[in-house]
Protein backbone atom coordinates (compact mmCIF):
# COMPACT_ATOMS: atom_id res chain seq x y z
CA UNK A 1 0.00 0.00 0.00
CA UNK A 2 1.51 3.28 -1.02
CA UNK A 3 1.60 6.65 0.67
CA UNK A 4 -0.79 8.26 -1.81
CA UNK A 5 -3.49 5.60 -1.48
CA UNK A 6 -3.64 5.90 2.33
CA UNK A 7 -3.78 9.69 2.20
CA UNK A 8 -6.32 9.49 -0.64
CA UNK A 9 -8.62 7.35 1.49
CA UNK A 10 -8.29 9.92 4.25
CA UNK A 11 -9.13 12.79 1.90
CA UNK A 12 -12.20 10.97 0.60
CA UNK A 13 -13.28 10.29 4.18
CA UNK A 14 -12.86 13.95 5.11
CA UNK A 15 -15.00 14.99 2.15
CA UNK A 16 -17.70 12.43 2.99
CA UNK A 17 -17.68 13.47 6.65
CA UNK A 18 -17.94 17.14 5.73
CA UNK A 19 -20.85 16.57 3.36
CA UNK A 20 -22.67 14.46 5.96
CA UNK A 21 -22.04 17.10 8.64
CA UNK A 22 -23.46 19.84 6.44
CA UNK A 23 -26.52 17.78 5.57
CA UNK A 24 -27.44 17.02 9.21
CA UNK A 25 -29.76 19.77 10.34
CA UNK A 26 -32.12 18.06 12.75
CA UNK A 27 -30.48 15.18 14.59
CA UNK A 28 -27.56 15.71 16.93
CA UNK A 29 -26.69 12.01 16.79
CA UNK A 30 -26.18 12.16 13.00
CA UNK A 31 -23.98 15.23 13.37
CA UNK A 32 -21.86 13.50 16.01
CA UNK A 33 -21.45 10.42 13.82
CA UNK A 34 -20.35 12.52 10.86
CA UNK A 35 -17.83 14.33 13.06
CA UNK A 36 -16.45 10.94 14.11
CA UNK A 37 -16.05 9.97 10.44
CA UNK A 38 -14.27 13.29 9.92
CA UNK A 39 -11.96 12.69 12.92
CA UNK A 40 -11.08 9.14 11.90
CA UNK A 41 -10.36 10.26 8.33
CA UNK A 42 -7.97 12.93 9.57
CA UNK A 43 -6.34 10.26 11.74
CA UNK A 44 -5.91 8.03 8.67
CA UNK A 45 -4.27 10.93 6.83
CA UNK A 46 -1.89 11.66 9.72
CA UNK A 47 -1.04 7.97 10.01
CA UNK A 48 -0.40 7.77 6.26
CA UNK A 49 1.87 10.79 6.28
CA UNK A 50 3.98 9.56 9.19
CA UNK A 51 4.06 6.02 7.81
CA UNK A 52 5.07 7.31 4.36
CA UNK A 53 7.97 9.29 5.75
CA UNK A 54 9.33 6.25 7.55
CA UNK A 55 8.58 6.80 11.20
CA UNK A 56 5.48 6.52 13.29
CA UNK A 57 5.49 9.05 16.03
CA UNK A 58 3.47 9.43 19.20
CA UNK A 59 1.48 12.15 17.47
CA UNK A 60 -0.86 9.47 16.09
CA UNK A 61 -1.71 8.26 19.59
CA UNK A 62 -2.10 11.80 20.89
CA UNK A 63 -4.52 12.68 18.07
CA UNK A 64 -6.47 9.47 18.67
CA UNK A 65 -6.72 10.39 22.36
CA UNK A 66 -8.14 13.79 21.43
CA UNK A 67 -10.64 12.06 19.16
CA UNK A 68 -11.79 9.82 22.01
CA UNK A 69 -12.20 12.85 24.28
CA UNK A 70 -14.24 14.60 21.59
CA UNK A 71 -16.48 11.56 21.26
CA UNK A 72 -17.00 11.34 25.02
CA UNK A 73 -17.94 15.01 25.26
CA UNK A 74 -20.33 14.69 22.32
CA UNK A 75 -21.97 11.65 23.88
CA UNK A 76 -22.42 13.47 27.19
CA UNK A 77 -24.07 16.42 25.41
CA UNK A 78 -26.32 14.00 23.54
CA UNK A 79 -27.36 12.22 26.75
CA UNK A 80 -28.11 15.49 28.53
CA UNK A 81 -30.13 16.72 25.54
CA UNK A 82 -32.17 13.51 25.41
CA UNK A 83 -32.79 13.62 29.15
CA UNK A 84 -33.91 17.23 29.11
CA UNK A 85 -36.04 17.29 25.94
CA UNK A 86 -36.88 13.65 25.24
CA UNK A 87 -35.35 13.49 21.75
CA UNK A 88 -32.16 14.34 19.91
CA UNK A 89 -33.78 16.76 17.48
CA UNK A 90 -32.13 20.14 17.73
CA UNK A 91 -34.82 22.00 15.75
CA UNK A 92 -37.29 22.30 18.60
CA UNK A 93 -34.71 23.33 21.16
CA UNK A 94 -34.92 26.84 22.61
CA UNK A 95 -31.47 28.44 22.79
CA UNK A 96 -31.41 29.09 26.55
CA UNK A 97 -33.42 26.05 27.57
CA UNK A 98 -30.68 23.42 27.34
Say which CATH topology domain 3-85 has: Helix Hairpins (1.10.287)
**Entry pTM:** 0.77
Distance, in Å, from the CA atom of 14 to the CA atom of 49, rounded to the nearest integer, reads 15
pLDDT mean over 82-97: 71
In the chain, how long is the greatest CA-to-CA distance?
51
Distance, in Å, from the CA atom of 72 to the CA atom of 92, rounded to the nearest integer, reads 24
- Give the domain ranges of the chain: 3-85
2-22 tens-digit pLDDT: 666 878 888 898 899 888 888
Structure confidence at residue 93 (pLDDT): 61
Q: Which of 77-80's residues contact partners 24+ apart within 8 Å by CB, and which partners?
A: 77/28, 78/28, 78/29, 78/32
Amino acid sequence: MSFFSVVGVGVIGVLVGGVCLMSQRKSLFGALLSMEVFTLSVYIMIFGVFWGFGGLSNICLIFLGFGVCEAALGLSVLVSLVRSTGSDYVGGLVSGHF
